[in-house]
Structure 1
Amino acid sequence: MKWFYQHRKFLMILLTFFFILFIFSNSLQNGTDSGNRSGFVTELLNQFLSLFHLSITEHFIRKAAHFSEYLILGILLMLTLRSFTTKLGRFLTVPLFVGLLVPVCDESLQLLIPGRSGMVSDVLIDFSGVLSGILLCWLFVLFFTKTTSRRKASPF
C-alpha cells in the first residue's frame, strides 16, 4: 500500500492516459464495426428489457455510451487532480480543459474514419459526461470531508 501512495500521481496519469487511448480506439473503428457493436449491445439489452415490455434504440445506446465513457474520464481526471492537490477548486480548470479537449479531438478523429462522422452534438454529450464525473467527485469529496470532520469533532 505504501508503494501505491508513493507512486499514485504517476499511476493516475497513466490510468487516465490509457483510458483516453481506449476512447480514441473506439473512434478508430470504421462505421460498420462500430454499428455492429452498438447493434449487438442494443439487441442484448432489448432481450432483457422485453421482460418488462420495454425497448431502447441503437441511437440511445450510442449516446449513452458516449456519456458513460466521458463520465468515467471526468472521474479519472478529478482523481488524477486529487493525487496532486487537495485544493480541487483552485485547479478545476485543468480537468475541465482536458475534459473538453479530448472530445473535440475524438470527434475530429472520427472525421478521418470511413463511415464515421464527427458531430458537435456528440462533443456536447461527451463534455456533459465529463462535467457529471467531475461533479460526482466534487460531491463525494464534500460529503466525505464533512463526514470525517463530524467524526473528529464527535466525542464518541
Structure 2
Amino acid sequence: MNPKLKRILRYIAIFMTIVWMIVIFRFSMDDGNSSHELSDSCVKLINHLIYQFTGKDLMMTIAPEHYSMIELFLRKCAHMSIYFVLAINIMIVLFTFNMKMILRMAIAVIASFGYALTDEFHQTFVAGRSGAFTDCLIDTSGAIFGVIAALILYCVLYTIMTKYQKKKGIVQSEYDQKIDLSNNKHIAK
C-alpha cells in the first residue's frame, strides 16, 4: 500500500476511534434514570416489532421480573456491542502498522479492557450509576468478538485483494509479453 495512503487511513482510523470513545463516554454520562429510559425504550421497540410480526404483545404476556431481565439482557448486549465496535476501530488503526497479528489482537483487547475499566470508574461519579467489574468483563468479551470480526474482515479483504492483484499481474504480464513480441517483430523487420 502507498505509504501516503496508509498514513491518511491511519489518521482517519485514529479519528474514528477517538469519536467512538467519546460516544462511549457520553453514554456513561447519562444518569441512572436516563440510562434506564433508554433501555426501556429499546425493550418497547423490540416489543413493537414482535407485535408487528406476530400480533403478540409481550408487555401483556410476560411478568414484570421477566421484563426487567429482558431489559438487563439488552443493557449487557449494548455494553458488548459498543466495545465490539471499539475493538474493530482499534484493529483498523493497528492494521496501518507493520506488526504481528497476535500483537495487534492483544493490543486491541487490552486497550478495550483498559478503556472499559476507566469507563466503569467514570460511572461511579454519575448519579444513579455504579461501576461494576463484571461490566468490564462483558465489555471485553464484546471487544474479543470485535477482534475476531476484524480478523475475518481482514482475511476476506486480503483474499480479494491478492486475487485481484494476481489477476492484474497475469493480465499485465500477458500485456507485457504482447508488447515484447510486437517490439521483436519491429526489430526483425
Alignment TM-score, normalising by the size of structure 1: 0.85
Contact 1:16 1:77 in 2 (8 A): yes
Give the C-alpha shift of residue 30 in structure 1.
Answer: 0.5
The reply to whether residue 97 of structure 1 matches residue 98 of structure 2 is no
Count of aligned pairs: 155
Deviations 1:108-131 (A, max 9, x none): 111111100111221111101111
The reply to whether residue 18 of structure 1 matches residue 31 of structure 2 is no
Change in Cα spacing, 1:90 to 1:27, as seen in structure 2 (3 Å) is closer
Structure 2 CA distance for aligned equivalents of residues 6 and 111 of structure 1: 38
Partner of 2:33: 32
Give the C-alpha shift of residue 89 in structure 1.
Answer: 2.8
Contact 2:7 2:96 in 1 (8 A): no
The reply to whether residue 76 of structure 1 matches residue 89 of structure 2 is yes
Identify the match of residue 59 of structure 1 among 60, 64, 72: 72
Structure 2 CA distance for aligned equivalents of residues 86 and 143 of structure 1: 19
Partner of 1:7: 8
User: Structure 2: which amino acid aligns with 1:7?
Assistant: I
Give the C-alpha shift of residue 150 in structure 1.
Answer: 5.0
Give ranges in structure 1 of 5+ residues lacking alignment.
none
Give the C-alpha shift of residue 7 in structure 1.
Answer: 1.6
Contact 1:99 1:127 in 2 (8 A): yes
Q: Secondary structure at the match of 2:126?
A: coil
Identify the match of residue 149 of structure 2 among 109, 112, 136: 136
* Bigger-Rg structure (1/2): 2
The reply to whether residue 85 of structure 1 matches residue 86 of structure 2 is no
Q: Relative CO higher for 1 or 2, CA cutoff 8 Å, sep ≥ 6?
A: 1
User: Structure 1: which amino acid aligns with 2:124?
Assistant: L
Of 49-58 and 80-89, the range deviating more from structure 2: 49-58
Q: Secondary structure at the match of 2:91?
A: helix
Alignment TM-score, normalising by the size of structure 2: 0.71
Structure 2 CA distance for aligned equivalents of residues 49 and 43 of structure 1: 10
Of 61-70 and 6-15, the range deviating more from structure 2: 6-15
RMSD: 2.6
Change in Cα spacing, 1:47 to 1:72, as seen in structure 2 (3 Å) is same
